[in-house]
Structure 1
Amino acid sequence: MEDGMTSHHGMPSPAFNASGRMHTCRKMMMHMTFFWGKNTEVLFSGWPVTSSGMYALSLIFVFVLAIFVEYLSHSHLIKRNMSDVVTGLVQTCMHAVRVALAYMVMLAVMSFNGGVFLAAVAGHAVGFLFFGSWDSDDKSSDLPPMKC
């Protein structure tokens, strides 16, 4: 059955854009279940391509992002002698950076690659070990609250 995008041979069929130039339309298949392998895209189109070294670099990148999210969640960068305005600005900036990095980790996990998922979980675990497990300010919960 032809859907207008591909021919009956599974090859991209030509289409014409508004200027009359011919181009081909290709469908991109996205995984919706976890899979294993280095042939995946993480965060950016075309990255990490099909190289094992680039795949390892993407795993390290996700691992470090997750550690940094935990660092920001448990850091104490605000000094007591800061004014309320400066304190509010620092907290707002730290929150924005933390949320942006957390969303990047989430989007990387949404590649459904098992290695990326394990790198993200390991990064959060290592980050919590270094920055959160020693936080004794609030013991009302097993996990410390996410705070800046």
Structure 2
Amino acid sequence: MAHSQHEHHHSGHDHMEHHDMSQADYTLMNEGINSTLRQGNGDHKSHASHGSMMAMTFHGGYVETILFSWWDVKEIGPFIGSFIAIFIMALLYEGLKYYRKHLLWKSYAGLQYCAVAPPDKGVQNICSPDEPQVIQPTMLSGAHAYQTVLHGLQVFISYMLMLVFMTYNTWLCVAVVLGSATGYFLFGWRESVVVDFTEHCH
């Protein structure tokens, strides 16, 4: 009987030790999970803090990442160079728009028009037999393909300038506006000549 009670007491003691070890393991596991969650929350806050550093309002300064990760400006010298580069980009964008209109003007200037009457009207055509008729542009022509490439380049530059403006850096925005205004000053006055010509061609 005493031996049985001793075994029962020993068994109960082992059960309590097993229970205590399980409780300790459970406590350690909870501490590990909480530590991981705190660490993850800290990383999230750090990431959120880093994201909030991107100003969404107009600001000055010369520390800026422009368009690409490698275009990371942290000194005044490279920032001035970036200002000039963006200025030239905006200027060339206006020049590209005029150049496309100039090519269109040349295409119209190369066309020869003559009055052609329908055959059933009994009116002789004004064009002489050896005079070329109106040349209709085609979709697969080299001139249209060239214009298509220029159009794609124009769209690309326009989006790049838009993204530069979206940095909200006041100086870079000024570079875009000044470059565009200067480009229009240099090339825009010729557009009235092109528009006047095309309006009188029809």
Pair in the same fold by TM > 0.5: yes
Larger radius of gyration: 2
Superposition CA RMSD, Å: 2.9
Aligned residue type for 1:38: Y
Query: How many angstroms apart in 2 are the aligned matches of 1:59 and 1:48?
Result: 13
SS of aligned partner of 1:134: helix
1:4 matches 2:40: yes
CA-to-aligned-CA distance 1:17-53 (integer Å, 9 cap, x gap): xxxxxxxx98332110000110111111252421111
* TM-score, L = length of structure 1: 0.72
- Equivalent residue number for residue 114 of structure 1: 170
Return the offset for 1:61: 1.3
Helix, strand or coil: the match of 1:135? helix
Length, aligned pairs only: 125
Letter in 2 for 1:110: M
Instruction: Quickly say closer, same or farther: Cα 1:87–1:39, change in 2 above 3 A.
Output: same
- Give the number of the structure whose residues are more often helix, by fraction: 2
The gaps in structure 2 that reach 5 residues or longer are 1-37, 111-136, 197-202
2:148 to 92, 95, 98: 92
Contact 1:48/1:54 (<8 A) preserved? no
- Counting aligned pairs with the same residue, the percent is 33
Q: Which runs of 4+ in 1 moved over 4 A?
A: none
Return 5+ residue gaps in structure 1 as ranges. Answer: 14-24, 140-148
Q: TM-score, normalised by structure 2?
A: 0.54
Which of residues 71, 74, 88 in structure 2 aligns to 1:50? 74
- Structure 2 CA distance for partners of 1:124 and 1:70, relative to 1, 3 Å: same
Kept after mapping to 2: 8 A contact 1:69/1:102 = yes
